[in-house]
Amino acid sequence: MKTLLSFGHGYSARALTPHLLAEGWRIIGTTRTAEKADAFRAEGVEPLIFGAPLDDVITDVTHVLTSVAPTSAGDPVLEAYSPALEPHLERMDWVGYLSTTGVYGDHFGAWVDETTPLSPTTERGRMRVAAEAAWRAICPATRVFRLAGIYGPGRGPFAKVRAGTARRIVKPGQVFSRIHRDDIAQVLAASIARPDPGAVYNLCDDDPAPPEDVIAHAAELLGLPVPPAEDFATAEMSPMARSFYAESKKVRNDRIKDALGVQLLYPDYRTGLAALLADAE
């Protein structure tokens, strides 16, 4: 039996669950709460409280996926489990690490791909670069998936637009790339089916766009007024919110199509938002 050990079995990894369960997989997912453990069981996933020993399961594991974000102290999974994992990683059929396109830094709206040098400008990006390297050091075959901004069921602009709290912050030249949760799941499934040790993939759609355009389109879909534009230079924003505008780039996704044969379910935010709204009705 193929067995996936999913560290930080959260929003993106849980979308992969039905793909694998349909093929008879065993899935073990880590969590820090009993509430999420109960939710995992209801989905057919065996919960493992993060920090508990791996002794009873590690010999059965054939695939590893980690979605846990790094901290300033390093990668939490490697800190907790490196001694238990290291003797087994070389025999694994597949090891995947979910990273971020933030590792590329700011390119002033220009295109980047998987060969672009890593030059993050934010602390979050620098921690991701370090975590990618740490996983590669312990397992050179680790596949790295660099995710653009994630959206999907429960994570879209509609709630804020309906509540009147959505903001259209305009910074000239600013563009972001995005990826729907279900497209993340299908890319991961495709990589598992076509393992390429050490490969790096950008996960994003075909249409990098200014964030204010997405909010405007969401409002139009709902038939509500488009929130007024606010100048980034003078808008009141938290340091965290402002930091998301520190980098602007368009991310290429050719590799997931050419190497993995992926056809995006939602190639742009318009198709993705339309589907989210239809599913909610």
| Residues 67, 86: Cα–Cα separation, whole Å | 18
Contacts of 98 (CB under 8 A, 6+ apart): 12, 13, 65, 66, 67, 145, 147
CB neighbours of residue 158 within 10 Å: 17
**pLDDT-based confidence at 281, cuts 50/70/90?**
low
Decide if pLDDT at 171 tops 90.
Answer: yes
Q: What pLDDT, in 10s, does the model give residues 115-156?
A: 999 999 999 999 999 999 999 999 999 999 999 999 999 998
**pLDDT-based confidence at 244, cuts 50/70/90?**
confident
Decide if pLDDT at 25 tops 70.
Answer: yes
3-152+179-205+250-265 folds as: Rossmann fold (3.40.50)
Sort 81 into a burial class: Cβ within 10 Å, 0-12 / 13-18 / 19+: buried
Reduced to 3 states (helix: H, G, I; strand: E, B; else coil), residue 182 is helix
Report pLDDT for 254. 98
Decide if pLDDT at 195 tops 90.
Answer: no
70-77 contacts at long range (C-beta below 8 A, 24 or more positions apart): 70/127, 70/128, 70/130, 70/131, 71/127, 72/123, 72/127, 74/130, 74/131, 74/134, 75/130, 75/131, 75/134, 75/135, 76/50, 77/7, 77/8
Report pLDDT for 60. 97
Mean pLDDT of the 170-189 span: 97
Mean pLDDT of the chain: 96
Type of residue found at 194: R
- Percent of the chain residues topping a pLDDT of 90: 96
- Residue 4 belongs to what H/E stretch? strand 3-7
| Residues 21, 137: Cα–Cα separation, whole Å | 31
Q: What is the pTM of this model?
A: 0.96
Say if CB 153 and CB 93 are below 8 A apart. Answer: no
Q: Phi and psi (nearest 5°) for 168? A: -105, 85
Q: What pLDDT, in 10s, does the model give residues 48-103?
A: 999 999 999 999 999 999 999 999 999 999 999 999 999 999 999 999 999 999 99
Report pLDDT for 6. 98
Q: Give the CA count within 13 Å in the CB-facing half-sphere of 260.
A: 28
Decide if pLDDT at 191 tops 90.
Answer: yes
Mean pLDDT of the 188-196 span: 95
| Residues 225, 164: Cα–Cα separation, whole Å | 9
Lowest mean pLDDT among 239-243, 250-254, 272-276: 239-243
Mean pLDDT of the 213-221 span: 97
- Percent of the chain residues topping a pLDDT of 70: 100
Q: Phi and psi (nearest 5°) for 61? A: -75, 130
- Residue 169 belongs to what H/E stretch? strand 168-170
